[in-house]
């Protein structure tokens, strides 16, 4: 499943640590003061990864709807 994550630049290390820990494919990066990127998460990892990102205050993660705007 594909998700888009939004976070402040100051959270970059915490966000990237989870990506590296789960070997997630990430793309469509925008690294500025306010950052975003898209992640592909395997179905069997979704809940664990979402739970980890929910622990990071100021980090928002939403599913990407295919064909959506």
Per-residue confidence of the chain (69 residues) as pLDDT tens digits?
A: 999 999 999 999 999 999 999 999 999 999 998 999 999 999 999 999 999 999 999 999 999 988 765
At residue 1, the pLDDT reads 93
Contact by Cβ (8 Å): 58, 6: no
At residue 65, the pLDDT reads 87
CA 36, 42, 48, 52: dihedral to nearest 10 degrees? -20
**pTM, two decimal places:** 0.87
């Amino acid at each position: 499943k594909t998700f888009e994550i939004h976070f402040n630049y100051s959270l970059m290390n915490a966000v990237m640590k989870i990506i590296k820990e789960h070997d997630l494919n990430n793309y469509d990066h925008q690294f500025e003061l306010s950052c975003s990127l898209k992640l592909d998460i395997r179905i069997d990892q979704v809940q664990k990864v979402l739970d980890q990102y929910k622990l990071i205050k100021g980090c928002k993660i939403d599913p990407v709807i295919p064909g959506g705007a």
